[in-house]
Structure 1
Amino acid sequence: MKSLCILSVALVLGTGSATIAFADDYDLDALRAATEKYKDVNVALAEGFIQDPTGHCVTAGAEGLPAEWGGMGIHYLRPDLLKLAAPSERVDGNGTHTDFTQPAILLYEPQADGSLELVAIENLVFKKAWDAAGHGGPPMINGRSWDHMADNPDTDADEAHNFMPHYDQHVWLFRKNPSGDLMPFNPAVNCDHHSK
C-alpha cells in the first residue's frame, strides 16, 4: 500500500548549491492553539479534509525503515490546499501551500476504542509547482529544511510512495516526539489499533 508522506532517507539539509527561497518561523504553542480544533475529526471532515484513500496507517517498520523510528498515523488531507491533479500513474498536484496555521494534512493515531487522536499536522508542496513559483530551494520551518521525497529509479523501492517529487514537513504538536518536533516519524506513535 502506498502512503501519503513518508521520510525520504536522504533529508534535504542543504546540498551546498541549493538556496533557501522560503522560510517561516512559528511559535509552536501558538500553532497548537490555532489547530487544536482538529482534535475532533468531525471538524476536520466539515472543513474539507478526507482520509488518505489508501486508509493506510503509516509506521516506519511497515515502510521498510527502522521500526524504532515509530509511526505517523493515518493521514487526512485537504485536496483543495494540495491542488491535486486528475488521477494518473503517480499522485501529482500544483500545491504550494505552506501555512501551518491552516495545514493541508492532519495525522491521527487510532485508539483502542476506535476513536482517532490528533498527533501532528503536516504540509506538502509539489516540487515542480514549487520551482515554477520561483523558489530556488526547499521551504524551511524554524530553521529546518522540509524533507524532500523523490523516487529513485535505480532501486526497487518507491521512495516517494506513489507521489511525484515533493517536499513535506511534519509538526508534532499533539504528541511529544522524542526525535524532535519537526521530524517525520515519532517513536511515541503506533498503529497497533488500526483496522482498515
Structure 2
Amino acid sequence: MAISIALLKTVVALAMVDPGAGEPTLDQVRAATERFRDVNVALAEGYMRDPLNLCDTAEMMGRPAELGAMGIHFARPDLLGISGPPNPRVSGSGTHTDFLKPAILIYEPQADGSLELVAVENLVFADSWRAAGHDAPPMFHGVAYDTMADDPSTPVDEAHLFEPHHDRHVWIYRENPNGVFAPFNPAVTCEHHRNGGAHAGHASVPAHAP
C-alpha cells in the first residue's frame, strides 16, 4: 500500500502543468476566493453546509487513512444543478467548472469551533457531463478530474451519497504533501469536528461537546 501511495503522489506531481488557454492560475483562484476564509461570507453568497455535517476522511471512503482528509463541504446547489434532496443519492445537472467561482468550498474544523478554509472544488455528475457531449472527465491545469462512484460490493460508500461524479480539489489554502490536486490531504484533520453526522457506509464521527 505504501508503494501505491508513493506512486499516487508522483503521478499528481508530474501531472501538474501551467494553466491551459482560458484557465486561471492558482494565484488568480486564490484571489477570487480569499473572501471565503470567512465562512459567513460563503453562507451569505449561497454556499450551504453539508446537511449531514460530515467531515470527510479518506478512511470513510475506503481509502488508506494515511492519505488524510477532505474536511467539511459547503456547496452551491445552483452551480451543481441540484434541485432536490437525495433520491436516493445526490444528483445534479450542472456542468460548472470555473474555479474563479468554485461550486464547493472545503473547511477544516478547529479546536475553538471555528472553520478554516483549506481547499476549493468543482464537481460535475458523470451522467450530466456525458449528456453535455463530453467523452472524458473535465481537466484543470492538464490534470483530469478524479472520478468517484460507489462500489456496492464494499461496506463503505466511496461516493459519499453522491451519484457517480468527477471532481477536482485544489488545495490553495493548506499545503498538501500529496499534491495540490490530490483528493485528500494528510495535513487536514477532522479531530475537532463537532456533532458530526453519519450515513450508510460511513463511520460515525464522534460528537464533541460544543
Alignment of structure 1 residues 7-156 onto 2, 5 Å:
25-87=23-85, 88-156=87-155
Q: Secondary structure at the match of 2:120?
A: strand
AA at the equivalent of 2:90: V
> Does the 8 Å contact 1:97/1:104 carry over to 2?
yes
Residues paired across the two proteins, number: 177
Q: Secondary structure at the match of 1:26?
A: coil
CA distance in 2, matches of 1:172, 1:184: 9
- Given the superposition, is the C-alpha separation of residues 41 and 160 from structure 1 closer, same or farther in structure 2, using an over 3 Å criterion? same
Shift of 1:163: 1.2
> Does the 8 Å contact 1:73/1:190 carry over to 2?
yes
> Does the 8 Å contact 2:61/2:157 carry over to 1?
no
Q: Over the residues paired in the alignment, what is the CA RMSD in angstroms?
A: 1.9
> Does the 8 Å contact 2:109/2:192 carry over to 1?
yes
TM-score (norm 1): 0.84
Shift of 1:53: 0.7
Shift of 1:136: 1.6
Structure 2 spans left out of the alignment, 5+ residues? 1-7, 12-19, 196-210
Shift of 1:81: 0.6
CA distance in 2, matches of 1:62, 1:91: 17
Percent identity between matched residues is 60
**Residue-by-residue CA offset, 1:80-107 (whole Å, 9 max, x unaligned):** 1111132211111101100010011000
Structure 1 spans left out of the alignment, 5+ residues? 1-9, 14-21
AA at the equivalent of 2:88: E
Whichever structure has more helix as a proportion of its residues is 2
TM-score (norm 2): 0.79
- Given the superposition, is the C-alpha separation of residues 92 and 60 from structure 1 closer, same or farther in structure 2, using an over 3 Å criterion? same
> Does the 8 Å contact 2:60/2:157 carry over to 1?
no
AA at the equivalent of 2:96: H
AA at the equivalent of 2:36: Y
> Does the 8 Å contact 1:95/1:129 carry over to 2?
yes
Higher relative contact order by CA 8 Å / sep ≥ 6: 1 or 2?
A: 1
Q: What is the aligned partner in structure 1 of residue 160 from structure 2?
A: 161
**Residue-by-residue CA offset, 1:128-176 (whole Å, 9 max, x unaligned):** 1111111121000111110111223343432222211110110001000
